Amino acid sequence: MARARFVTFTKGTSSVAPEAALKSTPEVSALWRAVEVGHLVREDVLPHSGTGLDLGCGDGRVTRLVRDELGARWTLTGLDPDELELELATSAGIYDVLLRADGGDVEAADESFDFVFSHIVFQHLPRKAYVEAYFRDAFRLLAPGGIFRVQVDGRSRQFFRRWVADSWSGVVFSARELSRRLERCGFRVVETRGSGTQYLRATAVKPG
């Protein structure tokens, strides 16, 4: 496959996330990836074809595993704020376009995607307003009837996280709050799973 077209929309310096060190050995990386991919594959909520947006695509390895396990045929755009991760994603062989942009600043046409998904991304954001900005952009970018699959950290009983949230230990949501914020952005929430865990997931649809 040809290398993805790489488009930059924001400026800034690259940084290496703390999890990069944790994934540095093959054994740890394999275990980490199995946990990350498991929910998406088992629950099989993403369509197996169509045009999709991978919010917070990172290096693309997780999405490639999901695509291969599902046997999906996607036309994919990957988005990430980290230029280093996007450079790695060019070799994943699954993205047609790669975008560098922050939440709420995605320069793509309205209603241009059949599905949008994000996994192991929002649990690292330090402000709920940033997460909701991504929700609003996902709604704008989805075609009517499109699917939004999102994962956040659902350990909302960890009250100390309200004061120490940063780009590693980010914000936490209850299932109720996650649903409410998605609905506020216009989505119809189909289901939530994993309440009270690190892997709180929601599947939502853009009405139409």
| DSSP string across 27-73 | HHHHHHHHHHHHHHHHH--S-SEEEEEEET-TTSHHHHHHHHHHT-E
Residue 154, SS3 per DSSP: coil
- Rounded to whole angstroms, the maximal C-alpha distance in the chain is 47
DSSP readout, 158-176?
-TTHHHH--SSS-----HH
| Residue-wise pLDDT tens digits, 3-26 | 455 444 333 333 334 444 444 555
Long-range contacts of 187-192 (CB under 8 A, 24+ apart): 187/135, 187/139, 187/148
Task: Read off φ and ψ for residue 166, nearest 5 degrees.
Answer: -145, -160
Specify the DSSP element, H or E, that contains 178.
helix 175-184
Residue 90: which residues within 8 A CB-CB, separation 6 or more? 3, 4, 6, 98
Domain count, the chain: 1
Answer whether 4's CB lies under 8 Å from 98's CB: yes
pLDDT at 143: 98
In this prediction, what percent of the chain has a pLDDT beyond 70? 75
Pairing type for strands 200-205 and 95-100 reads unpaired
Q: Domain range for residue 51?
A: 5-205
pLDDT band of residue 159 (cuts 50, 70, 90) is low
As to burial, measured by CB atoms within 10 angstroms (0-12 exposed, 13-18 middle, 19+ buried), residue 69 is middle
CATH number for the domain including 189? 3.40.50.150
pLDDT digits (tens, 9 = 90+) for 186-208: 999 999 999 999 899 999 999 98
Q: What's the pTM?
A: 0.82
pLDDT at residue number 60: 92
